[in-house]
Chains A and B, each alone.
Chain A
Amino acid sequence: MTLHVNDISKSYSNNPVLDQVQLTIEPGEFIALLGPSGSGKTTLLRIIAGLQFADSGSLWFDQIDMTAMQARERQFGMVFQNYALFEHMSVADNVAFGLKMRSGKTRPSKKEIAKRVTNLLEMAEISHLADRFPSQLSGGQRQRVALTRALAIEPRLLLLDEPFSALDTKVRKGLRKSLRDLQRNVGIAAILVTHDQEEALEMADRIAVMNDGRIEQFDTATNLLRNPATPFVADFLEGLSNYMTEGAGI
């Protein structure tokens, strides 16, 4: 269950967005793609999700070439930046959606789906929200629902596109830990896209610092801070060296 990103390149009408990106993500690992906006991190995540396709390079997951595989066949759970909840469905129906869409043989029975939805909502501690509609939820609750919906398809990889950017700072910090705990419990690898250095340092096992469509350095937080590989990395993480030791926010 290892993901290999091999030399992925992508450009929009001659503007290179990704330039031969290489990345390997081990089972159960929590990775952050960190960089300023326009660095290509979201494009890379969308290519891994199968919502966009690379111009060159390949993607391997669990020793299978999935470069040209459709998003719906990848079974990667994704949490979108604004959560993209289905506004016309209740929370329970949102969570059940992925299971209901399965074809013939693989689709669980109605009873089985209902049972699994109940369990998932319980695990995410949002059972009391089951009958609510997305418009009746707070930002933090919406994030929870989006995450639960993504986990319902028994994903092989979890993709998180700036999942905290729609929340205010106070809520954000509390939710970091609970999201990380949930990911550990489920035991699947996750990729977090963020432009927030502190968020990446706090949550990720390893961080890929991106700039201008390239990965400048891919390492643990400690190594990034101690031995920045390029001036950009040093610059981008400047002032955070104390953060790790003192645990103080910015």
Chain B
Amino acid sequence: MTRQQTAPASQRPHPAIARLKRQRRNKQRGLIAIALLFAFFVMGLPVLAIFARAFQEGLGIYWANIIHPETLHAIGLTVLTALIVLPINLVFGICAAWAITRYTFPGRRALITIIELPFSISPIVAGLCYLLIYGATGLVGEWLDTYDIQLMFNLIGIILVSLFVTCPFVARELIPLMEIKGRDEEEAALTLGANGWQTFRYITLPNIKWALLYGTILANARVMGEFGAVSVVSGNIRGETMTLPLQVQLLYDDYNATGAFAAATVLTLIALLTLIARSVIESAHPHHH
């Protein structure tokens, strides 16, 4: 930000001021150049490379790779996982945010901390923990195994770890917002004769809807892109439990680089859409972030 200082016309600018301004300008240019170069080499170029490599052998080959049954199945499984995980997350996020901001109870602080845990724990560790507990020889898994219920190495396992890694997103968006808003409007609604559901539907929800959408979009990007945790519990069964990121890895290991990059473009497009949706929401409702 340069601030032009207007001096009376009769006065000449002090020579030291001119030097100062020049230095400032150089500093600015330097910082901008560093930021742009960094962004280009670290983020821009690799993303462009994905598309360049995927289309290298022509559009026909690219398309053939996309519609390969295994890749299509991976896309389908990824979307299915998101469709199941996100609504559960939404409900949990609202419940958790409501409990934390509207009630005081023993364990409230612990709940705030534990909601954030998936952000700080490595996903692969999370996957292993799930295997330990819900796997066939695990605490819960062994007991369920006697009823012929298997939780790991199938869709259920993928959903469980996806829930774990995305658990914080919605609640995290809602908690600060609901804290600031307070409960005044909700109490006003109650005194006006609204019941609990009406209060939520007509007062709380309109106030949090953008934060809710924002959190869901972030969670969606995470569900669809998750590799580590899912790879531990999915069992990596070809054409069955391969989500899109796992499929990319599989194709690459099979020396099918074009196929791997073609699948990767799908993930990248999802990421770009997320980014666009995010900035649309932010520009429409800038107060959230």
Q: A interface vs B, CB < 8 Å?
A: 49-51, 70-78, 80, 82, 84-88, 97-98, 101-102, 149-150, 152-153, 159
Contact = CB atoms under 8 A, between A and B. Distances in A.
Contact of A51 (B191, B192, B195, B202): B191
B159 to A, nearest CB: 34
The 8 closest A-B pairs by CB, nearest first: A98-B192, A84-B184, A84-B188, A101-B194, A78-B191, A71-B190, A88-B206, A72-B193
Could you say which interface size class chain B belongs to?
10 to 19
Given A71-B191, A72-B190, A153-B192, 14 more contacts: A50-B191, A71-B190, A80-B184, A80-B187, A82-B184, A86-B189, A87-B185, A88-B206, A97-B194, A98-B192, A98-B194, A101-B193, A101-B202, A150-B192
Interface string B243-262: 00000000000000000000
Contacts of B192: 72, 97-98, 101, 149-150, 152-153
19 contacts: A51-B187, A71-B190, A72-B191, A72-B195, A76-B191, A78-B191, A80-B184, A80-B188, A84-B185, A84-B187, A85-B188, A86-B203, A97-B192, A101-B189, A101-B193, A101-B194, A101-B198, A101-B202, A153-B193
B187 to A, nearest CB: 5
A6 to B, nearest CB: 22
B73 to A, nearest CB: 43
Contacts of A86: 185, 188-189, 203
Interface of B: 184-185, 187-195, 198, 202-203, 206-207
A74 B198 CA distance: 17
B187 A98 contact: no
B209 to A, nearest CB: 9
Choose among A77, A85, A97 the residue with the greatest number of B CB atoms under 10 Å from its CB: A97
Contacts of A49: 191
A102 B191 contact: no
Contacts of B193: 72-73, 75, 98, 101-102, 153
A69 to B, nearest CB: 12
A85 B207 CA distance: 12
Nearest to A78: B191
A63 to B, nearest CB: 22
Contacts of A73: 193
A152 B198 CA distance: 18
Contacts of B191: 49-51, 71-72, 74, 76-78, 150, 159
Contacts of A72: 190-195
A75 B194 CA distance: 11
Contacts of A153: 192-193
A81 B11 CA distance: 56
A85 B206 CA distance: 14
A84 B198 CA distance: 17
Contacts of A76: 191
A13 to B, nearest CB: 10
Contacts of A70: 190
A159 B188 CA distance: 12
Nearest to B185: A84
Contacts of A87: 185, 207
Contacts of A159: 191
A32 B99 CA distance: 35
A106 to B, nearest CB: 9
A73 B190 CA distance: 9
Contacts of B194: 72, 97-98, 101
A78 B185 contact: no
A147 to B, nearest CB: 12
Nearest to A88: B206
A239 B180 CA distance: 40
A101 to B, nearest CB: 4
A51 B194 CA distance: 13
Contacts of B207: 87-88
A86 B202 CA distance: 9
Contacts of B206: 88
A77 B190 CA distance: 10
A107 to B, nearest CB: 10
A245 to B, nearest CB: 38
A61 B101 CA distance: 33
Contacts of A152: 192
Contact of A78 (B188, B195, B203): B188
A78 B185 CA distance: 12
A139 to B, nearest CB: 16
Nearest to B190: A71
A117 to B, nearest CB: 13
Contacts of B189: 86, 97, 101
B184 to A, nearest CB: 4
A80 B191 CA distance: 10
A71 B187 CA distance: 9
Contacts of B185: 84-87
B62 to A, nearest CB: 46
